[in-house]
């Protein structure tokens, strides 16, 4: 896989370089609420601009239906990108479409060291089409905007999309600094892993993590489960879970995982106590609720588990204290509400207190780290791609990485 170092070494001054970034940030009423992915994209864009390239940046945002939708416009991202680049780029402009007349005109006007951000790639149906010809036609249009391609949107490399998979085949290509870093970190989680190797998995649904759990049974020494998915595990053990989130159709698979873990000597750690409430909290109001702490095996009817309890926090911290490698993906509860954030806080703090190489696997975990006020630089690595990280750990071939191979 050719890297951006080699690309710049070959000379990029005056050349149009298409950078597929991942600028899929959360927005609330047009305001960016977490700019982590934009900040992660800046180093590669800045290096190219400083080397005199004419940088064409592209990304998706949200899930529009293949047509322009103002709610998913990248205009706010363009403004923030310009702020973060500062004087490392001569100018940052915004094209009002993806590969149409607006994009062609704006790109043609670029000078050396200048940057343009195209409008949301998913405003065009060809970006996500399952039809190879339709996707390829859009990739052809994008290729007309550039001379070189840099793949740096790690959060999208598990998607077989035009700008991720088809476009690199049409231009000389290289991996950006972010992708190189992400892949290097993930190799540390899959090849010659320092042990003990502990994995913390949370989030709402077991079904989202089936593949990675299956693969990690061959790799990890212990697996800690939290979040909404924990209640399917507790139900699989025959415990009362009240009105907690549960995926009944996944219970047979969960029982099989527990059996296999025992056979292989992999320690599976489940909550011993949880915080419950009679209703899901109003996250927009953030008003205090009245949570109760109950044993995880006896959640009363009419209540639901919303976070791991204090005994579980202590247990999980102890299970992480002697680890040499830790991968964490998924919050332990409804961390967006202060009454149910302590479990996620406790896991984050345990990672900071551990001497282990620690990886936060993107998605809600990365958002929680920032929302709860932790120093991102104190962790070994915070991934920009939750889904991509999980699929890599499952051993899957990621289309966007395969496309960057020489």
Q: Is 54 annotated as a binding-site member?
A: no
pLDDT tens track for 293-349:
999 999 999 999 999 999 999 999 999 999 999 999 999 999 999 999 999 999 999
Q: Is 159 annotated as a binding-site member?
A: yes
Q: Is residue 205 among the annotated active site residues?
A: yes
pTM of this prediction? Answer: 0.90
Catalytic residue among 15, 37, 222, 345: 37
pLDDT tens track for 105-135:
999 999 999 999 999 999 999 999 999 999 9
Q: Supply the mean pLDDT for the chain.
A: 95
Looking at residue 194, its pLDDT comes to 94
Looking at residue 223, its pLDDT comes to 97
Looking at residue 406, its pLDDT comes to 73
Q: Is residue 2 among the annotated active site residues?
A: no
Catalytic residue among 205, 260, 311, 396: 205
The number of CA neighbours under 13 Å toward the Cβ of 270 is 18
* CA distance to 88, 178, 219, 256, 374, per residue, from 395 (Å): 38, 20, 11, 20, 30
Looking at residue 162, its pLDDT comes to 98
Catalytic residue among 363, 385, 386, 400: 363
- For residue 349, give the nearest of 330, 367, 329, 372 by alpha carbon: 372
Q: Is 60 annotated as a binding-site member?
A: yes
364, pLDDT greater than 90 = no
pLDDT tens track for 220-265:
999 999 999 999 999 999 999 999 999 999 999 999 999 999 999 9
Q: With bands split at pLDDT 50, 70 and 90, how would you rate the model's confidence at 205? A: confident
Q: Is 209 annotated as a binding-site member?
A: yes
Q: Is residue 387 among the annotated active site residues?
A: yes
Catalytic residue among 361, 386, 387, 400: 387
285, pLDDT greater than 80 = no
Main-chain phi, psi angles of 331, to 5 degrees: -70, 160
């Amino acid at each position: 896989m050719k890297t951006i170092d080699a690309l710049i070494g070959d000379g990029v001054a005056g050349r149009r370089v298409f950078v597929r970034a991942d600028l899929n940030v959360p927005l609330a009423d047009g305001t960016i609420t977490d700019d982590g992915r934009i900040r992660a994209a800046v180093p590669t864009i800045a290096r190219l601009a400083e080397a005199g390239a004419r940088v064409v940046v592209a990304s998706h945002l949200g899930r529009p239906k293949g047509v322009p939708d103002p709610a998913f416009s990248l205009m706010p991202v363009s403004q923030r990108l310009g702020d973060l680049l500062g004087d490392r780029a001569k100018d940052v402009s915004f094209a009002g479409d993806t590969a149409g007349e607006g994009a062609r005109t704006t790109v043609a006007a670029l000078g050396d060291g200048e940057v343009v951000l195209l409008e949301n790639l998913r405003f065009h149906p060809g970006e996500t089409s399952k039809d190879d010809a339709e996707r390829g036609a859009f990739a052809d249009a994008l290729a007309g905007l550039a001379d070189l391609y840099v793949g740096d949107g790690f959060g999208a490399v598990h998607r077989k999309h035009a700008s991720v998979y088809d476009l690199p085949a049409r231009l000389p290509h290289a991996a950006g600094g972010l992708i190189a870093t992400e892949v290097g970190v993930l190799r540390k989680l899959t090849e010659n892993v320092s042990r003990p190797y502990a994995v913390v998995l949370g989030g709402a649904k077991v079904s989202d993590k089936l593949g990675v759990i299956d693969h990690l049974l061959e790799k990890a020494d212990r697996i800690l489960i939290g979040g909404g998915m924990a209640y399917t595990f507790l139900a699989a053990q025959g415990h009362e879970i009240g009105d907690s989130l549960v995926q009944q159709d996944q219970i047979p698979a969960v029982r099989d995982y527990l059996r296999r873990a025992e056979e292989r000597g992999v320690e599976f750690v489940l909550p011993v106590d949880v915080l419950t409430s009679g209703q899901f909290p109003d996250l927009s109001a953030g008003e205090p609720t009245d949570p109760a702490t109950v044993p995880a095996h006896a959640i009363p009817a009419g209540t639901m588990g919303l976070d791991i309890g204090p005994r579980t926090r202590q247990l999980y911290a102890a299970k992480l204290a002697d680890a040499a490698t830790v991968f964490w993906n998924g919050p332990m509860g409804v961390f967006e509400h202060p009454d149910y954030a302590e479990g996620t806080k406790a896991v984050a703090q345990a990672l900071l207190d551990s001497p282990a190489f620690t990886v936060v696997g993107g998605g809600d975990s990365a958002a929680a780290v920032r929302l709860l006020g932790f120093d991102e630089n104190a962790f070994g690595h915070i991934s920009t791609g939750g889904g991509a990280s999980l699929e890599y750990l499952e051993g899957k071939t990621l289309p966007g990485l395969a496309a960057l191979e020489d």
